[in-house]
Amino acid sequence: MMLPGPETLIRLCDRYGVYFVYFNDSLTLEGRAENLSKLLDRDISEGARLLEVFPELVGRENVLDDIIDGRGELSIFNIIAANGAVYYNLLVIPDPSRQRSALLIIHDVTAELKARQLLQQSRNEVSLLSETLRHRDDNLKALNETTLLYINKLHATEESLKKSREELRQSNERMSRELLMAEKVQRQLVEFDPPDVPWLRTEYTYRPLEEVGGDFMGLMKRPGEEFAVFIGDVTGHGVAAALFIALLKSTFRQVFMKHGGTPDVMLEKINSMLLNNLNGNFVTCVYGLLSKKDDGSADFVFASGGHTEPVIVRANGPVEFLQSRGTMLGYMSPMGSSLETANLRPGDRLFLYTDGLPETENPRGKIIGFEEGLEELFEFSRSDTLKEAHGRIIEYCDRFREGEPLHDDLTILSFEIVNTP
């Protein structure tokens, strides 16, 4: 699994008019700022004074110091650059990865403001023309001249529209290529190689609502006969959700090295690092440890952050829902996660999934649901192999939808305990 590299991330941000740079408690910039230099049409080198580059922050030093300490954030809108040709918004937030550091995000809104000005100008011209037409009886000659002028403007507008359509077509082609690149990067964030151990089989299904989705999952080897498994859902879809997933994966790996053996502590640590840094988004997640026991069974020890309940389909028994406590990541601290344990015997299957599965909807607005409907779905999934089980789950959902489009990403991750000598 790969995270997008710095150059790829910078290129994506540049395409969408977003630039960023770090600064420290001395209010000096850190790192490269070539794209920012190009935006503001001036040379901005590493170590430049923050208040000289962004004079609109002068007088807000106390607020900046609070943000560097990890408290609060600052937003300033519709700032005009010194060259008079660029408008931008500023957002200052704490840097969770380093102490006494903050992240400055610059959003180029020049095109948006110019579009508004052009729209207002067009409305004014139409209003003036309407007023002239209402007084056509006053002066027929003036009316004819105004009408001719209007026709000429329409011709000019038509030519302008033709040019705009071509520019829009080229922009759409570029965006399509970039979305394909983002989709490839995000699939690298959710795909994993099945473990090559005789006692465990795995299978997964991933259906993003858009080219780039907000679901994530993973499987990581731990010492001995143990695997760490996680699945989650970031609120929202598209490129923004994918960037949050990249942030979450990076945070996950940092915490995993020290706290990967205690799922409830693992989620609490991740929550503390993400709190106030998700820009109003939240994350639901299940993290657990799947380990083989000497009697041929396996234990699943897990904690949940407001996620859908894991399901066990017993080989010779009922469908069981595994309940646990815990709020969403990024919502509050502490999360109050509970540590739960379930034993799986050979032939038993464990299913982890995102809420796109129970919230599958039909044309009448009814969903599969989180109780009886979901239990019926997993009963229907019983089959010889995990792959066939996933196929039956998708078959059940498609039949239930009756042609209604999906309204959320859909991700399923499953495990089957195999009887080994």
pLDDT for residue 95: 86
Same domain for 87 and 226, yes or no, is no
Last residue of a domain, one of 75, 110, 145: 110
Write the pLDDT tens digit of every residue in 6-22. 565 556 566 677 888 88
* Spatial distance between the Cα atoms of 137 and 143, rounded to a whole number of angstroms: 8
For 413, counting Cβ atoms within 10 Å of its Cβ (0-12 exposed, 13-18 middle, 19+ buried), the class is: buried
Q: What is the pTM of this model?
A: 0.57
Q: Is residue 80 part of a domain?
A: yes
Question: Residue 16's domain is classified under what CATH number?
Answer: 3.30.450.20
2 band by pLDDT with thresholds 50, 70 and 90: very low
Q: In which domain, by residue range, is 83 found?
A: 6-110
Last residue of a domain, one of 58, 80, 110: 110
How many structural domains is the chain composed of? 2
Same domain for 240 and 97, yes or no, is no
Angle between helices 238-259 and 6-15 (to 10 degrees): 150
Number of C-beta neighbours around residue 295 at 10 A: 9
pLDDT for residue 4: 46
Provide the percentage of residues in the chain whose pLDDT is more than 70.
86
DSSP state of 363: T
pLDDT for residue 171: 67
Write the pLDDT tens digit of every residue in 196-206. 899 999 999 98
Q: Is residue 263 part of a domain?
A: yes
Write the pLDDT tens digit of every residue in 77-116. 888 887 778 888 999 999 888 888 998 888 888 888 888 8
* Spatial distance between the Cα atoms of 217 and 219, rounded to a whole number of angstroms: 7
Q: Residue 208: what residue type? A: P
